[in-house]
C-alpha cells in the first residue's frame, strides 16, 4: 500500500473473488454463475437502452421498480435496487450497524460479511455453525446485534425454512435481520412474504444467479418502507446513479420472461440432482444443497489436491483454506455437459475410485 493509505484500513482484509484465469479455456464451475445466457427480452431491452447512454440513468429506477413491485406483490416503496446484492449488503452495514450496534453472522458464510464489517468499522460476532454445518437458530435469539444470514448459506448450500427465519426475526425485535437470498430460487423458500408482518426484516436478492445476469450487476432489497427509506438515504449519499440504464432495462426483461427463468432454474436443479448422485457413486460426502452448487469432500483424497488436479484438467471449482472447509470444494452446477465433464475428470484422480 502507499504511504497515503488511511490507517483506518490498516487491518482490512479484502474479499477474494473467485478465480477468473485467462491462460486457457476452462469449464468454469467456481463462481456460481449461470451456464445459460440471459433471456432474449433482457438482451433486447438492454440493446435499446444503449442508444440513450448519453443520458444519466434514472436514480429512482422507476420502470424497473414498478415491474418488480408488481412481480413480488409489494409496494414500490418497499424495494430498492443496487449495483449487485453486494452493494445493498454494504448499505445495510452502513445503515443498521455501528460501534454500538454490532453485526452477527455465521462463522462459515459469505466471505464479504466480515469485510463489510471491517470496512465500516463495525464490531462483529461470528457464530459457529453446528458440526453438520447447519445453523442453530436459537444462537441468534435476542442477541441485540444486526443479523446477517445467507439462506441458502454459502458455501454449504444448506437452507433454513421460512418458519425458522421468522423465529430469528421475531426474537430480535430491536434489531434488523438481513436475509441474503442470493440462491433462494434453486430450492429454498423466500422470506419476502414476512416483510408486511415484521418491520425489522430486510430480504436481499440478486439477478446474478437464477436470472443469468452476473455481468450486469443488479441486486435489490425488499423490506418495510422505513427500512427502504433508510437505505435510500445511504444510496443518495454515495451514488444516486448506481444502476446503469442498460442493466435496468435488462432487469425488466428478465422479470417479464418468467417462463425462461423457471426453465433455467429447473434445469440447474435437475443437473444438481444428477451431479449429486454421480458424486455419491464416487464416494463423495456432501451437504444437502438447495443452491446452484454442491459442497463436497472425498474421504480418501485431499480437498486441495482435487481442486488443483481439476484445474490442471481445465476445470475450475472453488477451494477454501479455512480449517473446517479445507477438505471440501464448492462446485457450481453448470450445464449437463459441463457436469458430465466434471464427473469424468474426477474418476481419473487417484484415490477417488478404489
* Nearest Cα to Cα of residue 306 among 327, 292, 334: 327
Instruction: Tell me which residue has cell 423466500.
Output: 190
Over the stretch 226-274, which tens digit does the pLDDT of each residue have? Answer: 999 999 999 999 999 999 999 999 999 999 999 999 999 999 999 999 9
Partners of 177 in the β-ladder: 147, 201
pLDDT for 354 equals 66
Identify whether the C-beta of residue 286 lies closer than 8 Å to the C-beta of residue 296. Answer: yes
Instruction: Reduce the DSSP state of residue 279 to 3 states and report it.
Output: helix
* Nearest Cα to Cα of residue 96 among 217, 201, 239: 201
Quote the distance between the C-alpha of residue 27 and its chain's center: 21
Q: Which residues of 289-327 are buried (b: 16+ CB within 10 A; e: fewer)?
A: bbbbbbbbbbeebebeebbebbbebebbbbbbeeeebeb
pLDDT-flagged residues of the chain (< 70): 354
DSSP for residue 57: P
Instruction: Reduce the DSSP state of residue 235 to 3 states and report it.
Output: helix
* Nearest Cα to Cα of residue 32 among 99, 85, 71: 85
pLDDT for 17 equals 86
User: Distances in Å between the alpha carbon of 191 and those of 33, 73, 294, 319?
Assistant: 23, 13, 23, 30
pLDDT for 81 equals 98
Identify whether the C-beta of residue 204 lies closer than 8 Å to the C-beta of residue 174. Answer: no
Instruction: Reduce the DSSP state of residue 95 to 3 states and report it.
Output: helix
User: Distances in Å between the alpha carbon of 223 and those of 65, 67, 205?
Assistant: 14, 17, 12
DSSP for residue 140: G
* Nearest Cα to Cα of residue 351 among 327, 323, 325, 317: 327
Amino acid at each position: 500500500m502507499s504511504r497515503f493509505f488511511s490507517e483506518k484500513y490498516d487491518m482490512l482484509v479484502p474479499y477474494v473473488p473467485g478465480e477468473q484465469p485467462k491462460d486457457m479455456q476452462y469449464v468454469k464451475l467456481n463462481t456460481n454463475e449461470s451456464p445459460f445466457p440471459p433471456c432474449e427480452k433482457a438482451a433486447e431491452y438492454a440493446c435499446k437502452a444503449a442508444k440513450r447512454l448519453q443520458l444519466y440513468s434514472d436514480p429512482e429506477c422507476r420502470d424497473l421498480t414498478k415491474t418488480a413491485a408488481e412481480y413480488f406483490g409489494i409496494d414500490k416503496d418497499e424495494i430498492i435496487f443496487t449495483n449487485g446484492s453486494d452493494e445493498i449488503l454494504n448499505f445495510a452495514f452502513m445503515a443498521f450497524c455501528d460501534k454500538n450496534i454490532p453485526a452477527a453472522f455465521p462463522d462459515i458464510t459469505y466471505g464479504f460479511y466480515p469485510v463489510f464489517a471491517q470496512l465500516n468499522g463495525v464490531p462483529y460476532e461470528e457464530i459457529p455453525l453446528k458440526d453438520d454445518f447447519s445453523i442453530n437458530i436459537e444462537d441468534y435469539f435476542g442477541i441485540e446485534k444486526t443479523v446477517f444470514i445467507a439462506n441458502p448459506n454459502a458455501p454449504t448450500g444448506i437452507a433454513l425454512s421460512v418458519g425458522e427465519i421468522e423465529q430469528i426475526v421475531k426474537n430480535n425485535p430491536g434489531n434488523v435481520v438481513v436475509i441474503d437470498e442470493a440462491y433462494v430460487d434453486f430450492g429454498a423458500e423466500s422470506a419476502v412474504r414476512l416483510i408486511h408482518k415484521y418491520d425489522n426484516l430486510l430480504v436481499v436478492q440478486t439477478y446474478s444467479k437464477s436470472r443469468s445476469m452476473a455481468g450486469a450487476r443488479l441486486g435489490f432489497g425488499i423490506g418495510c418502507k422505513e427500512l427502504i427509506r433508510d437505505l435510500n438515504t445511504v444510496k443518495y449519499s454515495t451514488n444516486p446513479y448506481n444502476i446503469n440504464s442498460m442493466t435496468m432495462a435488462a432487469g425488466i426483461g428478465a422479470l417479464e420472461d418468467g417462463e425462461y427463468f423457471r426453465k433455467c432454474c429447473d434445469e440447474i436443479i435437475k443437473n444438481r440432482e444428477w451431479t449429486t448422485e454421480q458424486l455419491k457413486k464416487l464416494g463423495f460426502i456432501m451437504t444437502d444443497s438447495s443452491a446452484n452448487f454442491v459442497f463436497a469432500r472425498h474421504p480418501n483424497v485431499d480437498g486441495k489436491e482435487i481442486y488443483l488436479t481439476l484445474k490442471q484438467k481445465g476445470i475450475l471449482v472453488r477451494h477454501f483454506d479455512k480449517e473446517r472447509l479445507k477438505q471440501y470444494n464448492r462446485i457450481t452446477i453448470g450445464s449437463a455437459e459441463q457436469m458430465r465433464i466434471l464427473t469424468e475428470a474426477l474418476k481419473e484422480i487417484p484415490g477417488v475410485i478404489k
